[in-house]
């Protein structure tokens, strides 16, 4: 019997996950059930990917071995209350709703349900997401690996303890915004030096992409990679000094801390 997975919510993140599952061949398109209150999104996904739609949320719950709740945080508790009679303790229930804790979900359902909390980020839209995964006590080791496979289909995924979710928000969930600001600033600097705007964006973005790949693929400390570029008395060390003079590292650390603190309050 084919394994099935259902999605409540098919916005940008839901679409990214569905595309990843199909491209990685983890699931057949027909075995992916989708429900969304906005029918044009459902129609688009059915036409493009061949997934199975339903207009009845109860049907999705009854036909899915694994369910992903890709809805807004304020929607999730009421949705779970409505679906509770249809959700079994054999199903794996995965929430990607920011700020909604395992305890909150268990409070709506029960401590006997198999519940997973995941914090993905928007680069999932281009297959380069980073997802933090938290399991409750009912998820077996085999099921944990299955969940990691799902979220690795559109990037990378790692299991973390729930008390690290605030740090994850700061370093991964919110961090794409900091990186985009850095790319924009790099490009502005190049434009100041006479480079055309679109060309400056491409140089800046590719440099950030390549640098990140160096960290991931060489497994060298970022400081060591920085030292490789930083010649004595050269252009790079002059730029690094300017960044340090203006509190570059401290500003980034404070940004991560601010995002983490805000997530604590929202949770």
DSSP class of residue 92 equals: E
Tell me how far apart the alpha carbons of residues 105 and 86 are, in angstroms, rounded to a whole number.
Answer: 15
Where residue 222 falls (left for φ over 0; alpha for ψ -120 to 50; beta otherwise) is alpha
Model pLDDT, residue 1 = 52
Q: Which one of 165, 189, 221 terminates a domain?
A: 165
- Residue-number span of the structural domain to which 260 is assigned: 173-266
Residues 161 and 214 in one domain: no
Residues 212 and 92 in one domain: no
Model pLDDT, residue 267 = 78
DSSP class of residue 109 equals: S
Q: Which one of 122, 137, 165 terminates a domain?
A: 165
Residues 42 and 155 in one domain: yes
Residues 131 and 248 in one domain: no
Going by their DSSP bridges, the two strands 114-119 and 129-135 should be labelled as: antiparallel
Residues 118 and 42 in one domain: yes
Query: Which pair of tokens denotes residue 101?
Result: 């804790």
Query: Which pair of tokens denotes residue 119?
Result: 């914090």
CA 33 from centre of chain? 21
Query: Which pair of tokens denotes residue 242?
Result: 């300017």
How far from 174 is each of 3, 28, 222, 244, 246, CA to CA, in Å? Answer: 33, 32, 21, 23, 22
pTM summary value: 0.92
Residues 119 and 181 in one domain: no
Q: Which one of 116, 137, 165 terminates a domain?
A: 165
pLDDT tens-place values along the chain, 267 residues long: 569 999 999 999 999 999 999 999 999 999 999 999 999 999 999 999 999 999 999 999 999 999 999 999 999 999 999 999 999 999 999 999 999 999 999 999 999 999 999 999 999 999 999 999 999 999 999 999 999 999 999 999 999 999 999 999 999 999 999 999 999 999 999 999 999 999 999 999 999 999 999 999 999 999 999 999 999 999 999 999 999 999 999 999 999 999 999 999 887
Domain count, the chain: 2
The CATH number that applies at residue 157 is: 3.40.50.720
Query: Which pair of tokens denotes residue 152?
Result: 């690795």
The CATH number that applies at residue 238 is: 1.10.3730.10
Tell me how far apart the alpha carbons of residues 174 and 154 are, in angstroms, rounded to a whole number.
Answer: 18
């Amino acid at each position: 019997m084919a394994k099935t997975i259902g999605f409540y919510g098919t916005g940008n993140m839901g679409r990214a996950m569905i595309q990843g599952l199909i491209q990685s061949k983890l699931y057949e398109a027909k075995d992916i059930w989708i429900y969304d209150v906005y029918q044009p999104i459902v129609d688009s996904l059915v036409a493009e990917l061949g997934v199975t739609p339903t207009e009845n949320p109860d049907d999705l719950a009854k036909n899915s071995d694994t369910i992903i709740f890709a809805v807004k945080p304020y929607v999730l508790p009421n949705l779970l209350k409505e679906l509770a009679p249809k959700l079994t303790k054999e199903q794996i229930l995965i929430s990607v709703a920011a700020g909604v804790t395992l305890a909150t979900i268990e409070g709506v359902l029960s401590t006997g349900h198999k519940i997973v909390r995941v914090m993905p980020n928007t680069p999932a839209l281009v297959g380069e997401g980073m997802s933090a995964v938290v399991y409750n006590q009912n998820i077996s080791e085999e099921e944990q690996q299955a969940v990691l496979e799902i979220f690795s289909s559109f990037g990378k995924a790692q299991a973390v303890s729930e008390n690290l979710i605030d740090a994850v928000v700061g370093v991964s969930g919110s961090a794409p915004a900091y990186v985009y600001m850095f790319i924009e600033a790099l490009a502005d600097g190049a434009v100041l030096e006479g480079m055309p705007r679109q060309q400056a964006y491409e140089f800046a973005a590719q440099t950030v992409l390549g640098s990140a790949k160096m960290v991931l693929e060489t497994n060298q400390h970022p400081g060591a990679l920085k030292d490789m570029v930083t010649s004595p008395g050269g252009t790079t060390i002059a730029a690094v000094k300017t960044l340090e003079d203006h509190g570059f590292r401290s500003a980034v650390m404070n940004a991560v801390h601010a995002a983490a603190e805000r997530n604590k309050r929202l949770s």
